Structures are given as structure tokens and as C-alpha cells.
Structure 1
Amino acid sequence: MSSLRRRLLVGLHWRRLLQYFLQGLVVIAPIGITAYAVYFLFNSVDTILPDLTNKLFPNLMGVDENGLPRRIPGLGFVVVIVIVMLIGRISSSFFVGKLVDVVDTILEKTPGIKFIYSSVKDFFEAFAGNKKKFDKPVLVNVDADDVWRIGFITQEDASHFDLMEHVTVYVPHSYAISGITYFVPKTRVKSLHINSAEAMKFVVSGGVTHLE
């Protein structure tokens, strides 16, 4: 076997091994990252109740052999989820809703606190709740005439910026949590008749996700 042919076979062998490695990475990485994210979230929420109970009632649960608050795995997670759901249910009632509005108004007018509170509140309301903002996916033309981006209308009226025939459109970036806000003429926006979650997933994935 000639030296050149031997080198070609060795190169082909290594390229095939590299291809197997990358293919395995494609399979393992999403599963591993998802599993770690779920584990981290579960573990973080699950420790809230034992830590809080230990601070309020030091002798109630006791401690383990390492001196840490004793806990039943999964119990804290379930209790926290139930409490959040109960708060959501109670806040839907008229009187509690009014009370929440009063507290909301106070926090939004408190110097120093209002910036943090309003920013966090607006972020969560953009994705969930009765006032979620990213529920109107559109195609928006902000570059060349025949180039379109996927975005979400967040404000139908931009008149407070002296832009009478414009709408506010948020355009998310791919593989990131950032994005850009545009004021766009209504004539350069087209409605998308797809689920907003599917539209967001399509953008964040760089367009590789299949739309259902």
C-alpha cells in the first residue's frame, strides 16, 4: 500500500470519527443541558421551604448530620408551586385584585424601588399573565425592501413619541435573550397567523425549528 493511500485512509478514518463525535454531541448536548437546567431549577425551588422553615421555626424540621436543614426531597418544590398557584387564584378575585393594585401603585411610585419593581413586573407580564405582550407575532420590514424579520407588536400606538402611524415592535435575537425595539410604520408590518410561542422558538433557534 502506497504512503499516499495510507494517509488518505487514515484521514478518512479520523474524519469519520469526528463526524460520529459531532453527531453524538448533537444528541447528548440538548438532553444534558435540559436535564441540568431542570435539575437546577428543581433543586433551587426545593430548598426555599426548608431554609425558610429553619429560619422561622429552627426546631421544627431539625438538621441533618451535616448541620443543614432537614428536608424531604420534592416536598419544598411541590409546596412552593402550590403556594404560587393559590396566590394566582386568589389574586383573580375582585377585592384581592384591588389590594394588589394598591400595593402595585405604591411600589411603582417609591423612589429607588420603582425601577427594579416595574422592570421585573414588565418582564414577567411580557410572557405570562393577563397582560402578556408577546402575543402578536408579525413580520416586520426594517432593513432592505424584501428582507423581513419576525417580531412582536408590544404597543399599537406610538403617538406619545410623535409617531402617529407607527407601532412598537420588539425583534428578538437568535440564540440570545436580547433583542431590539423598533418604531415601524404600520404599512411595513404583516400579521403572522401562527402561535406566538412557535414564532419565538423559531427566532431564538435561528430558524431551524419546524413550525407546527
Structure 2
Amino acid sequence: MSDSPERISLAGRLRNNFLTGLIICAPLAITVWLTFTFIDWADSWVTPYIPQRYDPQYYFNITIPGTGLVVAVLFITIIGFLGKNLIGRSIVNFGESILHRMPLIRTIYRSVKQILETVLKEQSTSFKKCGLIEFPSPGMWALVFISGDASGEIAVKLNQDGEEMVGVFMPPTPVPTAGFLMFVPKSKIVMLDMTPEEGAKLLISGGLIAPEYAPKPAPVPVLPAPDNLSASK
């Protein structure tokens, strides 16, 4: 009976060591796996289109991971460089004019282009802030990502009372691959200082990984000068 506490203590230590090792190894293993999976996916798409004389695998007779990804990045960069000058812009406009004449293709192309332009635009404020809204009922708060002010028809229809509406995206926990797009009055949103990356960690972990927060010190009030000093001057 006296050995029972020692055995329980040893089992507890082994369990804690295993969990600590899992926390250290699992993120690293998943990151490496995702990285190589993405590289293999890019290679499988691009490598077959590389001419044989430009393919380093032809000369070394070995598979070089990342060749297709590097070629894709260089190709996209060159296309972007050429698309900025007059000749390249004319070619792009001519290609887009052909796509816009195709009934189904033009809808897909315009939608994808608009999404990419919104996400990649340097001046865009999409998902640069986090906030809290009362959901699903008063007194219960949900984490949301601010997508920007309402615009277009939505702004005209919803801003009739003079209160500015803001678009927010509320993803589920723990896999934020889907969610709800809602338009909420700006006064109903509690803005947070945490970054979207910190908000994503909080969301994915189910609230276990909360970012550190140091409240900002209150501003020191500036007292007016005494009347006797101002009178003497």
C-alpha cells in the first residue's frame, strides 16, 4: 500500500512529460507536414509544364522539392511586372474582354478577382481589427473580425437612421473555415486591442490561449493655471 502513492506520482510525471512533449512536437510536425504538402501540390501542378532543358531534375536525375513552387513564384512575379506597363496592360485588358463575353466564366472570373483585390489591396482594412458583439442573446459576447464599413446598397438601406453600419465576420470554434457575415451598428461593437492573429489563436484554442493585455494608463489631466499667476503675467 505504501508504494501506491509513488506509483501514482510516477505515472503523473510520465503523463505530464508526454503532454509537454506533445505540445512541443505536434505543432512542429503539423507545420512541416503542411509545408511539404503545399510544396508537393505546387510541384505536381507546375513541374509537368517546365521544358525539359530548364528542369534541374533532368540534369541531376533526382527529385528536387520546391522546383515547381519556385518557378510559379517567378512566373507570377514576371507577369505582375509586365502587367504594369502599357503593352502588358493592353494584353491583360484584351484577355479580360474575351473572358467577359463568356456567360459562366465571366461570373466566376469577376467574383474571384474582386475577392483577391479586396484581400490583397494594400489600403484595405479587412480583418485588421477584432471586436465583440452581443450574440446570440444580450449579455453573451462573441468574437468577430471587422471587415469594414458597409457600402453600396447595403449602406443605403441600413444607414437610414443615421447610424453607421459595420460588416463583421464571426467564425466558429475551433475551425474558422466558415462563419457568418453580419452588419452591426458601430455603437454595438466593443473594439479590442488584440491583433487578428491573436484573435485567431484565441478562437482556435477555444479560449485557452488568451493574449496578454496591459491596460493603457489613463491620461493625466492638465490642470489650468491659477488665476493669480495668469493675472500677474
TM-score of the superposition, structure 1-length normalised? Answer: 0.70
What pairs with 1:41-56 in structure 2 (closer than 5 Å)? 41-53=38-50
Consecutive unaligned residues of structure 1, counting only runs of 5 or more, are none
Task: Map 1:143-162 onto structure 2 (within 5 A).
Answer: 143=135, 144-145=138-139, 147=141, 149-157=143-151, 159-160=153-154, 162=157
> Which residue of the partner structure matches residue 163 of structure 1?
158
Give how far 1:193 is off.
5.3
In structure 2, runs of 5+ residues without a counterpart are: 214-233
Q: Please list, as runs of the form range in 1=range in 2, the aligned pairs for 1:11-50 lying within 5 A after superposition.
A: 11-50=8-47
Indicate the residue corresponding to 2:220 in structure 1. none
In structure 1, how many angstroms separate the alpha carbons of the residues matched to 2:110 and 2:189?
28
1:172 aligns with 2:171: yes
Percent sequence identity over aligned pairs: 23
CA-atom RMSD, angstroms? 3.8
Contact 2:130 2:194 in 1 (8 A): no
Q: Distance in 2 between matches of 1:102 and 1:169?
A: 37
Structure 2 counterpart of 1:8: 5
The equivalent position to 1:134 in structure 2, one of 87, 107, 126, is 126
The correspondence for 1:76, drawn from 68, 72, 80, is 68
What SS class does the counterpart of residue 151 from structure 2 fall into?
coil
Instruction: Rate the CA distance shift 1:36–1:156 in 2: closer, same or farther, 3 A.
Output: same
**SS at structure 2 position matched to 1:141:** strand
TM-score, normalising length: structure 2? 0.65
Change (3 A) 1:13 1:62: closer
Displacement, 1:184? 0.6
